């Protein structure tokens, strides 16, 4: 496990500093937990430890702590959110214990959920002491399992960063009671529960002299989605689970049935963990494939007078095709850029096959990872048509996040657009109403999984380290030679061309990455002297020709 | 246009022979058509010629002839179904004129539709005389445009067979009135309407001295689906159309709005024909891609204890993923194996680009085209486990069609399974309740597009030429060493293992290509001494192991 050099404090996003715990803090914490759990168990509650209170774990902890047992008319679980006391993450523990959610969220349900469970129901606490594990009836593992790519556009040249998960499983094996259910919720390479977790925990048990006891191991994957329905996407959504034996399957099904809304969103129980692990990878690779498939047609459309946006709308009318989605300036988010890689890696590294059966899954990721670079080509070509070059231009990018109306910037297409145009010497100005800090640009060395940052694939990236996101469009657009509409944020869907050109102070290149501009708006920009180009929007040339014919 | 050696008769599927028309027949036919059209025009009806009364054209002709103009309280169109008087197709004309549908169909609506329009409403006739075109207000082109593959599993080594369509367009240009709307319904390489049809018709007009008149050209694609809703899939389904200019767009929208159920299934009008042509190719390539994506996961599942059928069911619960479909023993039907090829070909041959932007679209076709070969591997391995080899085995294949509960065998996965196992020396027996003749096997030289038949890719294929389809399971299974469940026909979904083994007279290899067998059935076959394998069904080994542990 890569350890950053330890420093004595952990700094929260709001700037508040928390000293890391010392030996005396541990003693106090352990006795706090023991007392708490004793009193909770006396009330008939089971103890659930959620390992990793990040994007999934924090809300999952809240959902479990908020569960209600109708038969007993009481909360069935007391939850301990666990986090390693590292400088990067320790702050989450004191924050959670104040009743504050350690994740930023557009969902108004998150803050009250956490505050209700911590302060009112008192069914949720957070801790840094692994001894919490020894008190647990159930451990839910939400530790990240990343995928490190060594090259851009080549997922096969990469590796799963499974060390953090393995470390957590060793710690779990060293502490839990033999009858504790370990539920892995992390998206993992198929086979991880049986081929990685099981032997680690068995060995840890043996080391403790616990023989002839089969660990209780289960896997279930979340389908969490950032945005306004963040909590619902965990609690009120279909789940798939499985266990390594009947007892594990029964336990995980009972647990999930208690905490999730399974009446409306029935649970699917599969036989083996590798089946639910595979389901998650296939599910996300499917989406990645659908998006990658459209990349080549996007280029075909651009070059041959086709508006792919309208074509997709025409196709989506058909119910069997209504999940077709335009790929925008690249495919971001935490899952789609990596999950297929976990599958390919598993086949070779865990399952031990040397042949190569994967064609589309890795190719889709490679296509998606490099799609954003084409946006830079459109910017270059549009500026060239106006007699300008990227290296001498001020370029305003509107939208930093990977998805509309959220502030989540993980692996967003916009990040690559910014990096590429910066490499080409452009002067980038960023606007996003949902993003206050673009961590990936600001803190390249400590960003979640350091090796994964795209920065090392481009030159000139030091220029980005003091990037500050503008919240004000007039600020962002001032003197802009180019405006890139990168995300379908609500605020960008109906911008007035007249006003935009007034803000920049001159005709500019306008790049539509996401079918944001109507034909009327495109025409208006041309009439104002702008040059317009768009991903997959080959009909723009026709609009320009019509105007020139009129003139 | 490739012309088979002319013979004086055309033989219908029922064996009836029709002499081809001679010169005197033409005179009579032309005067018949002129009289008919005159009287129809006097009743205020427009004349619609449908060129090509094959799978799409025959039913489209019926749907147009069956249309009703509520304002006029009358049939708005008189339809002439046109077909070249070739030995292969001429019989369709006299058949149609007796009120009989020239296509086999599981849809009970087809026969009454044709008979009603020909015999009762008298709004539909069929003809072989191109002079019909000169009487038309609208010509609907349903001439096939095939794709010839030179190698199996390599769609790039192939070509569009556009000559038949070009010939039809030349004939149309030579005959139609300048104000006649030509609606191309054939699935064509994107750009065909503007880059192929337009210049051909312009030239034909010029040759006739018609200058300064823009032809009226439109494109609209059907979404026809064989089966019990064949007519509905044309009439009661969403349509996309476009035209080369405003007049063409208006005319095609008005025509389709009159003949189709656009109130319930609104029409999408795109600006350029290349946009609707591209939409069709993207739509079908999308489906082909989804299926091809699952091929690699099917193999992953087989090798790692995963039942992909259950995994897909678990994923499909999610509304954004509910169109995931298991690929079965290969991807057949007329469209999916070729449409992507039309797109790739257009980019190079019509649009004139020399670079290679297509990655997934052609790869999906190649994967789908060769998936069936893996079924032969499963047969081989299952037989080997029983101490037998393919070359000395009698193999019963259940299901010849490309889709459940239809009799359509075009490019079915089953065809390749049969060809491969025949190459390996197996003795194949075929059963299908919906298929009486498997034309692709029986008549390899005259099958629709001769070069496209798979036969030339395998040895031993002469053994297949006298293949007769069994309608009786006991006949098909007698002495079988192997039973391949290839299609999800209703009749195959609940076969009794006990009974099947009794019919074959011995334990056999059972190959499930389509998730047809429940786990209980799989177990039962094992208990009866059979060896079971299935595409994507890696859990079968577990079932076998459990039984062996018990014994």
- Paired with A9 in beta bridges are A19
So what's the pLDDT on residue B451? Answer: 43
Q: Cα dihedral sign for B208, B210, B214, B218?
A: negative
Cβ atoms of B266 and B238 within 8 Å: the answer is yes
Residue B193 contacts A, CB cutoff 8 Å? no
Residue A223 contacts B, CB cutoff 8 Å? yes
Cβ atoms of B467 and B438 within 8 Å: the answer is yes
Confidence tier at B443 by pLDDT (50, 70, 90): low
Please report which helix (H) or strand (E) contains residue B234, including its range.
helix B230-235
Cβ neighbours around B49 below 10 Å, total: 28
Provide the CB-side half-sphere exposure for B419 (13 A, CA).
24
Rounded to an integer, the average pLDDT of B71-92 is 94
Interface test with B, best of A193, A354, A360 (most B CBs within 10 A): A360
Q: What is the percent of chain B where pLDDT is above 70?
A: 97
Rounded to an integer, the average pLDDT of B89-93 is 93
Pick the residue from chain A with its C-alpha nearest to B287: A321
φ and ψ at residue B43, rounded to 5 degrees: -85, 5
Rounded to an integer, the average pLDDT of A306-310 is 98
Contact A317 B238 (CB under 8 A): yes
Residue A307 contacts B, CB cutoff 8 Å? yes
| Residues constituting chain A | 551
Residue B26 contacts A, CB cutoff 8 Å? no
- Mean pLDDT of chain A, nearest integer: 94
Q: Going edge to edge, which strands form the sheet with B427-431?
A: B427-431, B394-398, B482-485, B509-512, B531-534
Which CA distances in Å does A102 have to A62, A408, B7, B510? 11, 14, 82, 55
The label of the residue with tokens 């009193």 reads: A39
Of A67-71, A134-138, A230-234, B436-440, the range with the lowest mean pLDDT is B436-440
Greater confidence, B405 or B447?
B405
So what's the pLDDT on residue B328? Answer: 97
- Mean pLDDT of chain B, nearest integer: 94
Segment A339-351, tens digit of pLDDT: 999 999 999 999 9
Contact A283 B321 (CB under 8 A): yes
- Give me the DSSP letters along A437-460: --HHHH-TTTSSSGGG-GGGGSSS
Q: What is the percent of chain A where pLDDT is above 90?
A: 87
**Pure H helices in A2-133:** 23-42, 57-65, 92-97, 110-115
Q: Cα dihedral sign for A280, A282, A288, A291?
A: negative
Give the integer Cα–Cα distance in Å for A8 and B418: 71
Q: Cα dihedral sign for A334, A339, A340, A344?
A: positive
Of A195-199, A442-446, B292-296, B505-509, the range with the lowest mean pLDDT is A442-446
Segment A35-73, tens digit of pLDDT: 999 999 999 999 999 999 988 999 999 999 999 999 999
Greater confidence, A15 or A536?
A536
> What ipTM does this complex have?
0.95
pLDDT greater than 80 at residue B203: yes
Give the integer Cα–Cα distance in Å for A502 and A497: 8
* CA B150, chain centre distance (Å): 20
Give the gap in angstroms from C-alpha A274 to the nearest C-alpha of chain B.
7
Contact A297 B278 (CB under 8 A): yes
pLDDT greater than 50 at residue B447: no
Give the integer Cα–Cα distance in Å for A227 and A107: 6
Rounded to an integer, the average pLDDT of B422-438 is 95
Largest CA distance in chain B: 88
Joined together, the tokens standing for residue A244 give 């390594």
The label of the residue with tokens 């030679």 reads: A481
Segment B100-118, tens digit of pLDDT: 999 888 899 999 999 999 9
So what's the pLDDT on residue A7? Answer: 57
So what's the pLDDT on residue A33? Answer: 97
Residues 365-404 of A with CB under 8 A from B: 367
Contact B268 A313 (CB under 8 A): yes
Contact A314 B276 (CB under 8 A): yes
Rounded to an integer, the average pLDDT of B24-42 is 95
Give the integer Cα–Cα distance in Å for B107 and B468: 24
pLDDT greater than 90 at residue A14: no
Closest partner CB to B315 (pick from A272, A282, A299): A282
- Paired with B158 in beta bridges are B149
Residues 514-543 of B with CB under 8 A from A: 539, 542
**Chain B residues with beta carbon closer than 8 angstroms to that of A351:** 303-304
Contact A304 B343 (CB under 8 A): no
So what's the pLDDT on residue B265? Answer: 97
The label of the residue with tokens 């014919």 reads: A549
Cβ atoms of B172 and B133 within 8 Å: the answer is yes
- Give me the DSSP letters along A161-221: E-HHHHHHHHHHHHHS-TT-EEEE-S---TTHIIIIIHHHHHHHHHHTT--S---EEEEEE
Rounded to an integer, the average pLDDT of A405-414 is 93
Cβ atoms of A282 and B297 within 8 Å: the answer is yes
Cβ atoms of A176 and A218 within 8 Å: the answer is no
Which CA distances in Å does B433 have to B319, B407, B430? 34, 8, 10
Contact B190 A270 (CB under 8 A): no
Pick the residue from chain A with its C-alpha nearest to B310: A270
Rounded to an integer, the average pLDDT of A438-453 is 62
pLDDT greater than 80 at residue A453: no
Contact A313 B358 (CB under 8 A): no
Please report which helix (H) or strand (E) contains residue B516, including its range.
none
Confidence tier at B156 by pLDDT (50, 70, 90): very high
Rounded to an integer, the average pLDDT of B290-308 is 98
Q: Are β-strands B46-51 and B124-127 bridged in parallel, bridged antiparallel, or unpaired?
A: unpaired
Closest partner CB to B360 (pick from A292, A315, A357): A292
**Chain B residues with beta carbon closer than 8 angstroms to that of A274:** 304-306
Give the gap in angstroms from C-alpha A218 to the nearest C-alpha of chain B.
16
Give long-range contacts, CB 8 A cutoff, 24+ apart: A178-181.
Answer: A178/A205, A178/A210, A178/A213, A178/A215, A179/A216, A180/A133, A180/A136, A180/A137, A180/A138, A180/A139, A180/A216, A181/A137, A181/A138, A181/A139, A181/A216, A181/A217, A181/A218, A181/A248, A181/A251, A181/A252, A181/A255
- Supply the DSSP symbol for B538: T
């Amino acid at each position: 496990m890569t350890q950053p050099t330890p420093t004595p404090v952990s700094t929260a996003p709001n700037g508040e500093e928390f000293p890391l715990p010392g030996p005396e803090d541990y003693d106090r914490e352990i006795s706090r937990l023991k007392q708490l759990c004793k009193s909770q168990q006396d009330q008939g509650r089971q103890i659930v430890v959620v390992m990793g209170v990040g994007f999934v774990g924090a809300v999952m902890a809240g959902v479990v702590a908020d569960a209600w047992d109708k038969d007993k008319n009481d909360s069935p679980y007391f939850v301990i959110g666990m986090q390693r006391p590292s400088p990067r993450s320790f702050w989450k523990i004191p924050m959670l214990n104040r009743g504050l959610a350690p994740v930023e969220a557009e969902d108004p349900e998150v803050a009250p959920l956490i505050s209700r469970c911590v302060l009112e129901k008192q069914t949720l606490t957070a801790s840094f002491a692994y001894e919490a594990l020894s008190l647990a009836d159930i451990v839910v593992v939400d530790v990240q399992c990343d995928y490190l790519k060594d090259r851009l556009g080549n997922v096969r040249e990469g590796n799963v960063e499974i060390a953090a998960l393995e470390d957590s499983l060793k710690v779990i094996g060293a502490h839990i009671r033999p009858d504790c259910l370990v539920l892995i919720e992390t998206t993992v390479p198929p086979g991880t529960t049986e081929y990685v977790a099981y032997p680690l925990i068995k060995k840890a048990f043996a080391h403790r002299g616990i023989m002839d006891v089969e660990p209780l191991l289960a896997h279930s994957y979340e389908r969490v989605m950032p945005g306004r329905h963040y909590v619902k996407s965990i609690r009120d959504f279909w789940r798939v689970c499985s266990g390594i034996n009947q007892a594990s399957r029964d336990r995980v099904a009972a647990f999930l049935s208690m905490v999730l809304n399974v009446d409306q969103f029935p649970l699917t129980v599969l036989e083996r963990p590798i089946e639910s692990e595979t389901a998650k990878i296939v599910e996300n690779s499917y989406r990645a494939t659908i998006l990658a498939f459209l990349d080549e047609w996007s280029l075909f459309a651009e070059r041959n007078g086709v508006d792919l946006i309208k074509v997709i709308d025409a196709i989506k009318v058909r119910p069997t095709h209504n999940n077709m989605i335009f790929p925008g300036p690249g495919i971001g988010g935490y899952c789609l850029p990596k999950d297929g890689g976990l599958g390919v890696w598993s086949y070779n590294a865990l399952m031990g096959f040397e042949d190569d059966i994967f064609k589309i899954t890795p190719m889709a990721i490679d296509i998606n990872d490099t799609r954003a670079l084409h946006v830079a080509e459109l910017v270059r070509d549009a500026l060239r048509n106006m007699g300008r070059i990227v290296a001498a231009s001020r370029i305003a990018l509107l939208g930093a996040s990977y998805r509309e109306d959220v502030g989540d910037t993980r692996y967003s297409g916009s990040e690559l657009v910014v990096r590429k145009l910066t490499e080409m010497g452009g002067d980038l100005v960023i606007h996003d109403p949902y993003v206050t800090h673009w961590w990936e640009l600001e803190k390249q060395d400590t960003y979640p999984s350091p090796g994964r940052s795209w920065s090392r694939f481009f030159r000139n990236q030091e220029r980005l380290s003091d990037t500050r996101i503008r919240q004000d469009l007039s600020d962002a657009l001032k003197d802009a030679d180019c405006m890139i509409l990168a995300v379908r944020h609500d605020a960008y869907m109906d911008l007035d061309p007249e006003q935009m050109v007034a803000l920049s102070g001159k005709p500019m290149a306008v790049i539509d990455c996401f079918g944001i501009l109507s034909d009327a708006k495109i025409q208006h920009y041309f009439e104002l002297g702008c040059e317009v180009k768009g991903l997959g929007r080959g009909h723009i040339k026709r609009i320009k020709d019509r105007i020139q014919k009129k003139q």
